[in-house]
Amino acid sequence: MAASDQLGQARADWDQRVGRRRGPGLDAVAAGRLPAPSGLRAVPGRGLVMLDWEPVPGAAGYLVYRAASAGGPFEPLDHGGGDVLAVPAGPYADTTGQAGQVRYYAVAAVADGESAGPRSGAVAAAPESGGPAAVEVEVTDAVTGELARPWEPMIGSEHLSYLLSPDRTGGRVIGAELREALRIAHDELGVRAVRAHGILSGGVYRRDRPGYDFSEIDRVYDELMNIGLRPVVELSFMPRDLARDPDKTVFSYRAVISPPRDWDRWADLTGALAAHLIERYGADEVTGHWAFEVWNEPNLDVFWSGTQAEYFRLYDCSAAAIKSVHPGLRVGGPASTAQARRWISCPRTSTATCRSTCGRRSRRRAAAERPPGGPSGVPPRRTSTGSATPFSPRRSCSAAWPPRSAGSRRCRTGWPPTTSPNSGRRPSCSTAGSACCRWGTCASRGTGRFRC
């Protein structure tokens, strides 16, 4: 059978198996045939209109539309998020209307963050005059149970370089105010880590300068460590000089959401950053308490201008580069929204899942087998900031790793995984489209005795 025929058959077999498990509701999701929500209701209130509707099976979220007349045009409501317009579910309060001014509402179900189904029938309502009604809450000293604290492992803080900002807003210095807010989160709420965007946006890489400049990252992470917090290192956004499409941006600080123009340079950058962080903060600290996340919500066009396959390639290159620095470093992803059913199911996971489920060798053995200079066997060089990187001199993704680890297809996403020598013991790892390795194609040393 030709390779192309094998590929098609593998895909068909996989789709058939998944189809049996997910049932007709999710088959409709995959085909983009989510029905319009039913039972839409609009209840006027003081300064708002409260909307509610019946949930649609398989929906990841909903778009709420509004128009000045029953005939439209209907436009999605921006509820203040600015980037993601979908809401997870009803009820939804529209507080942007004017008292007495009738508006028409409709709702559509969203399957995957990229497309919405048909709209529901429209209903009309207008906010009542006056502000929101007062709400009285009576608090007693009765104990009904222990309060869950889901915020303790991690909170978000948008853009941590604001810690270094001397600018003022509302008469207060931005950096000092953010620092105090994070201190309160740690000291009074028990928060342990912070995830934020744009750690690579601050001049880390420039084409006219050798090496990398991690000085701003150092200052930001030093501030966090002094507070008692640890970072979740979100690898974003793309340095402008490394971007394929530098004009693709988001947010007021014009963060670049493009894939890299040089994939090897991106791998070199992420590996160098991991090596620098271990050198500065210590291997025990970073491997024991930190984590890396590859990008932010790439299933949304507003955050990733590339394709899904390009994001998986970004993940594979990043994970392999970071793991090559130290096998104990933790890398997570896909870093997608709740609307990303096609991105986060087990069969579409990348190397990280393969590492944990498919015949992984011990970390001690993997470390013993690793050449002293990194996967290419070349001694590390020093960057301009004093950090070491195992990716120098730069080599192509296909040449940087021995064939035993990833072969010529390192950092290329696609079908199918190669057959595992231990397939008799773990047959799922040798089957194209199996629950691991469908998308993982960039296995590094120590990930197992198979190749994805």
Tokens 């493009």: give the residue.
258
Q: Residue 62's beta-bridge partner residues?
A: 87, 109
The SS3 call for residue 426 is coil
Residue 133 confidence (pLDDT): 65
Cβ atoms < 10 Å from Cβ of 205: 20
The whole-angstrom separation of Cα 361 and Cα 421 is 14
Phi/psi at 157 (5° precision): -145, 35
Residue 218's H or E segment, with its range, is: helix 215-227
Domains of the chain: 41-125 (2.60.40.10), 155-430 (3.20.20.80)
Q: 292 with 274: CB under 8 angstroms?
A: yes
Tokens 């988001």: give the residue.
250
**β-strand 48-52 against 155-159: which pairing, if any?**
unpaired
Helices (H), 282-371: 283-289, 308-325, 341-344, 351-357, 363-369
The whole-angstrom separation of Cα 169 and Cα 276 is 34
The whole-angstrom separation of Cα 444 and Cα 338 is 29
Cβ atoms < 10 Å from Cβ of 366: 16
Could you tell me how far CA 192 lies from the centroid of its own chain? 20
The whole-angstrom separation of Cα 244 and Cα 258 is 6
The whole-angstrom separation of Cα 244 and Cα 257 is 10
Closest CA to 322 of 363, 269, 373: 269
**β-strand 75-76 against 41-45: which pairing, if any?**
unpaired
Closest CA to 300 of 113, 30, 132: 113
- Which is it for the CA torsion 12, 14, 350, 336, positive or negative? positive
The whole-angstrom separation of Cα 245 and Cα 14 is 34
Could you tell me how far CA 415 lies from the centroid of its own chain? 23
- Which is it for the CA torsion 154, 336, 260, 438, positive or negative? positive
Q: 46 with 127: CB under 8 angstroms?
A: yes
Residue 291's H or E segment, with its range, is: strand 291-294
- Which is it for the CA torsion 259, 260, 262, 268, positive or negative? negative
The whole-angstrom separation of Cα 388 and Cα 274 is 9
Residues in the chain, total: 452
The SS3 call for residue 200 is coil
Cβ atoms < 10 Å from Cβ of 189: 11
The whole-angstrom separation of Cα 42 and Cα 125 is 6
Q: 301 with 449: CB under 8 angstroms?
A: no
Angle at 163 between CA 157 and CA 166, to 5 degrees: 135
Write the CB contacts of 80 (distance below 8 Å, at least 6 apart in sequence).
Answer: none
Q: 110 with 63: CB under 8 angstroms?
A: yes
Which stretches of the chain score pLDDT less than 50? Answer: 1-31, 345-452
Q: 152 with 190: CB under 8 angstroms?
A: yes
